[in-house]
Amino acid sequence: MAWIQRKTTRMKPYRGRVAPTPTGLLHLGHAQTFRIAHQRARQAGGKLVYRTEDLDPQRCKTEFADAALEDLKWLGIDWDEGPDCGGEYAPYIQSQRIERYRELLETLKTLGLVYPCRCSRKDVIEAVTAPHETGEEPLYPGTCRPALGQAATFEADTAARVNWRFRVPSAEPVVFEDGRLGQQSFTAGRDFGDFVFWRHDDVPSYQLAVVADDHDMGITEVVRGEDLLKCTARQLLIYRALGWEAPAFHHCPLVTDEDGERLAKRHDSLSLKAMREAGLTPEMIRAKFIE
């Protein structure tokens, strides 16, 4: 049976969000997405939340978090709640919300919707029977997946350094309406497999954290890049598992470099900081690259 996201009939005040990850300097792709998120929130007469998504302890740096705040303010983007100004749903920094994510992990353990997995990424890639998701991680072949209703065949504890994977419903279509791209459909078990929900180094996954935060912070529309469309399908399954209403989604076009490659944080010459230091103004950047 297909799982289809239904539009809510209840009118809620608009709440959007910008959520940079401080693993490098923000570039034009971030500027475009966050500018669209800002515009949609203001046009709706709603509120915009700033959230720092700093769950990767090895790559996230304080200087990048500070730079993101500075760059977006310089670009003319403002927000109503965030780590610099507080708000009703603080903290707005993911590394300060770990216990909330752990609580949800335990909930899904109880429901039997996550299971421990000893497989490393290398193990999955080398699995002969594992097909690969296009351009992403390999499709998990189910090596450690217990039968529904059965416990794992090994003891899962901290010492075992296991990942916890979310059990996706096999061959079930996940359908949602995107605000820009229209109806989107992915099939669980074919387009994506059982995904990591909690990492072996005791860090929650992106999928878990953003669902928890967007729900807890009352976000009504998620604006982000179209490279995350498949993540939306995964996250809708988490919303369903927790019995939560999902927000609306609007996926923005990606900004590419002169070779047609999607911008990444390694493109330092296209970072907002580099452009500012080169003498460009916010108006010039918006006119030439964004608007």
Catalytic residue annotation: 265
Kindly give the pairing relationship between strand 248-252 and strand 221-225: parallel
Cα(42)–Cα(48) distance, integer angstroms: 8
The amino acid that residue 251 corresponds to is H
How many CA within 13 A on the CB side of residue 94?
A: 27
* Helix segments in the chain, DSSP class H: 28-43, 62-75, 98-111, 121-126, 206-216, 229-242, 272-277, 282-285
DSSP 278: T
- Pick left, alpha or beta for residue 137 (phi over 0 → left; psi -120 to 50 → alpha; otherwise beta): beta
